[in-house]
Structure 1
Amino acid sequence: MGIHVPALAAISPANRWATRAQFFCSGLIFATWGVHVPTVKAHYGLDEAQLGLAMLAAGFGALLGITRASRWIGRFGARRVAGGTGTFYALLIALLILMPGYWALLSLLAVFGMVTSVFDVAINTEAAQLESRQGIPLMSGMHGMFSLGGMAGAVSGGAALAAGLGPQRHLLLVAIVMAGAVAWSSTRMLPKIDASSTESDEGFRLPRGALVVMGVLAALGLIAEGAIYDWSVLYLQQELGAPQQQAALAYASFSAAMAAARFGGDALRARFAPAALLRTSALLAAASMTLVLWAKAPWLALVGFAGVGVGFANVVPILFAASARVPGVEPARGIAAVSAAAYLGFMVGPPVIGLLARVSSLTAALCVVVAFAIALAASSRYASAR
């Protein structure tokens, strides 16, 4: 589905790199949260179930944000929405261990989740518009920048902890640098085009038809992917006895492999059918996560996390790009609809793993990743549903 664009709104390299920078910043900020999950757990004295509930609060906030995202993008444009929510998202990371208590932390994470989800829809809408207008696959590479940012955040976070930099100073430094980077990059994004050629500002509608199928598949992928983001560092530290600075490499290994696979993902998307690519990727993720759970040495688990990253790399890019091209559906609305289903899974996954870890072990709980990867592979034939 084409988008009418005024002649003056030509795409420049600066537009593409600005959007790539936004994805990078999003990944780095999210990785900083991942690195400091053990910090938050220790600071507030939480068990796995309480930590899972905190993640659930972030998920509820994300779901609320999704219901407003397409309206705000339609009214203000992806550039302004990304600049505002992304800057706020970056600044919130500085408050993670400054809350007066557990309930204040839940409120903070709910707001954190809300602005994260709106920022996510805004930059994915921008990427879909760039891809549509240039006529070449770009989405996987954009998500590769998210993963590269995740790797950078995990490595720099681990290095900061190893060098003795206090957690609060690290969080504040990340917040200031990322807020500036997001605000500057947003000024180089595409300008909002006229109302007749962009998204409407109607409210959120539940997905229907092909968007339901894409939403379910995205949910399966994000449940499993989110489990790695939120629990991999704690897994390596708690289950395999690695120090926190080494445990942070679990996130880095996963993100680095995912970034590499996503940078090659656009070429794969151009060559292979979505169903075949999804099936192969999901089976690789299932096998790699099995290796992680079987491994007794941290280095072998890191190899497994890298394999999981490669496996899940192109699941979301394929589905988000497809949702932006559903006939009769505006890109922001399609992405928001699939994101809503995906975030619902993302919201449920971490607390479920936390509860399972409490009644059994974190190792047993993370078997959910293997199960959902297998389910995704079995359902991959629906990736091309129309």
Structure 2
Amino acid sequence: MSVRTALALSRTPALGFVVVGLYWGGLATLVPELKARIGASDAQFGLLLLGTSIGLLTTMVLAPALDRAMGQWSMVVAAVALAAAFLAPGLVVTPLGFFVAMIFCGMASGMLDVIMNARVSELETAHARPLMNANHGVFSVAYACAALGTGLAREAALPPVAVFLVIGGLVLSFAWRMRMAPAPVDEAPEGADGFPYGVVLLCGAIVLVAFMTEASVEAWSALHIERTLGGRAAEGALGPAMLGITMAVGRFGGQAVSERMSDLAVIFAGCALAVMGVSFVALAQVTWVAYAGFGMMGLGVSAIGPIGLALVGRMVPPHVRTKAISRAAVMGFFGFFLAPAAMGVISEGFGLRVAFAAIGVLLLALIPLALEIRRRGP
């Protein structure tokens, strides 16, 4: 099935992926400016990003219930909340203010992310087609566009709040088109087993590693280009933009590959390519080598996170699918904030080169996780 067909079948939740991509692409490019404005060190800034994890904990508990309560309006409400929440990082000037702002960003972003992934999984079941990679590819395109646009805005000396206002205007212009009711689900059949925690933890760990790799580039690539390699603001923006572009290519390509190769083969190949890319980034002496490394990392991990979420949807009973995806997705979301925090601590002590090298070691954890998936035989 083509990417166009996949997106036609899932066009409503695909808008949610656009919204999330726009905001995190913009934030990633603004990291050097936001960090300098609040006066935080590498380690402090990484820890401040953990505020988003507090928001995600709330999301994990509340998302399934709020989704059922709001019905077809759940993605609309989450998108509007995200537009409001992201104004705060553009306005605050203190570390505490930034920490609180990221809590609200995590709550809104996590809510939308859980719901839109659950909707895509429901559509995969309804149409018996893989759709997850195409939708995550849309996220990557939006992320890359936001990163490039924000880089130009920084060159023009526009303040962060102006960037988030522009993104918010775009989001509000099509939020009303994101109405989609959850699929009806029968109650648990009599004699059904309990919640499949083992499957959720296993697949969630795969998503976690993939998203931690992605987050390391999102949060620190611009700073690595500008500080370690002496690039300008526009050159720094190309770091996260390169990630977004290559992840879009990998995910759109993964939409076709997923129908021809096993999920585990894609995970193994992606892991190898991403580790190679990390070595380029860690050893780079000029910007183009780092760009190549970021691109290889993007291609390598592009399909791994969506595959992890798709595996959850296929391996659990329908009556717990939304709850299972929300748990696995939130595990992955933690990667977006655990990685920047860990990178900040390592960078503070050993520099960004060593911090990126640590991501390469983390990627190797995908191998035993994938082998356990194979043993279980989804």
- How high is the TM-score relative to the length of structure 2? 0.91
**2:61 aligned with 1:72:** no
Equivalent residue in structure 2 for 1:208, among 197, 219, 222: 197
Q: Deviations over 1:334-376 (max 9, x none)?
A: 2112123223444322211111111111111111211111221
How many Å separate the matches in 2 of 1:217 and 1:148? 22
Shift of 1:228: 1.1
Bigger shift: 25-34 or 160-169?
Answer: 160-169
Query: What's the counterpart of residue 322 of structure 1?
Result: 311
Q: Report the Cα distance in structure 1 between the residues aligned to 2:149 and 2:88, rounded to whole angstroms.
A: 19
1:39 aligns with 2:33: yes
Please say if residues 222 and 346 of structure 1, whose CA atoms lie closer than 8 Å, have aligned partners that are also in contact: yes
Give the alignment partner of residue 131 of structure 2, picking from 125, 138, 148. 138
- Other structure's SS at 2:197 match: coil
Alignment of 1:1-386 (within 5 A): 16-77=10-71, 79-99=72-92, 101-181=94-174, 183-187=175-179, 190-194=180-184, 197=186, 208-329=197-318, 330-384=320-374, 385=376, 386=378
Identity fraction in percent: 24
**Matched residues in 1 for 2:201 and 2:183: separation?**
29
Cα 1:353/1:207, change in 2 over 3 Å: farther
Counterpart of 2:315 in 1: which secondary structure? coil
User: 1:184 is matched by which residue type in structure 2?
Assistant: W
**In structure 1, C-alpha distance between the alignment counterparts of 2:21 and 2:223, rounded to whole Å:** 19
Mapped to 1, the partners of 2:74 and 2:127 lie a distance apart of: 23
- Residues 48-80 of structure 1 show CA distances to partners (whole Å, capped at 9, x for unaligned) of 111111111112211221221122223323x42
The number of residue pairs the alignment matches comes to 366
The CA deviation string for residues 181-237 of structure 1, in whole angstroms up to 9 with x for no partner, is: 3x22313xx33455x5499xxxxx986122221122222222222111111111111
Equivalent residues of 2:90, 2:164 under 8 A apart: no
What is the CA-CA distance between 1:282 and the residue it aligns to?
0.6
SS in 1 for 2:203: helix
Instruction: After TM superposition, give the deviation of residue 17 of structure 1 in Å.
Output: 2.0
Q: Where in structure 2 are there 5+ consecutive unaligned residues?
A: 189-193
Aligned with 1:308: secondary structure? Answer: helix
- Name structure 1 gaps, 5 residues minimum: 1-10, 200-204
**Cα contact 2:56–2:333 (8 A) shared by 1:** yes
The residue identity in structure 1 corresponding to 2:152 is: A
Is residue 29–residue 222 contact of structure 2 (8 Å, CA) maintained in 1?
A: yes
3-state DSSP of counterpart to 2:258: helix
Q: Deviations over 1:17-60 (max 9, x none)?
A: 22222212211111111111111111111111111111111122
Is contact 1:217-1:383 (8 Å) kept? no
Deviation at 1:171, TM superposition (A): 2.3
Residue aligned with 1:296, SS: coil
Bigger shift: residues 171-180 or 43-52: 171-180
Alpha-carbon distance in structure 1 between the residues aligned to 2:353 and 2:187: 47
For 1:5, the equivalent position in structure 2 comes to none
Residue 241 of structure 1 aligns to a residue whose secondary structure is: coil
1:274/1:383 contact within 8 Å kept:
no
TM-score, structure 1 as length reference: 0.89
Q: 1:368 to 1:64 in 2, by over 3 A?
A: farther
| Alpha-carbon contact 1:49-1:355 (below 8 Å) kept | yes
* Inter-partner Cα distance in structure 1 for 2:15 and 2:229: 35
Residues 273/352 of structure 1: CA separation in 2 closer, same or farther (3 Å cut): same
Cα distance in 2 for residues equivalent to 1:121 and 1:86: 12
1:123 CA displacement: 0.5
CA gap 1:133/1:302 in 2 versus in 1, 3 angstroms? same
Runs of 4 or more consecutive aligned structure 1 residues displaced over 6 Å after TM superposition: 11-15
- Give the CA RMSD over aligned residues: 2.2
Return closer, same or farther for 1:99/1:13 CA change in 2, 3 Å cut-off.
closer
Q: 2:209 touches 2:363 (CA, 8 Å); kept in 1? A: yes
2:206 partner amino acid? L
Query: Separation in 2 of the partners of 1:82 and 1:198?
Result: 24
1:305-328: per-residue Cα shift (whole Å, max 9, x none)?
111100000111111111112232
CA distance in 1, matches of 2:147, 2:51: 23
Partner of 1:7: none
Write the distance in 2 (CA, Å) between the matches of 1:356 and 1:136: 42
Task: For 1:83 and 1:142, locate their aligned partners in 2 and report how far apart those are by CA, in whole Å.
Answer: 17
Residues 229-253 of structure 1 deviation map (CA, whole Å, 9 limit, x = unaligned): 1111111111111111110110010
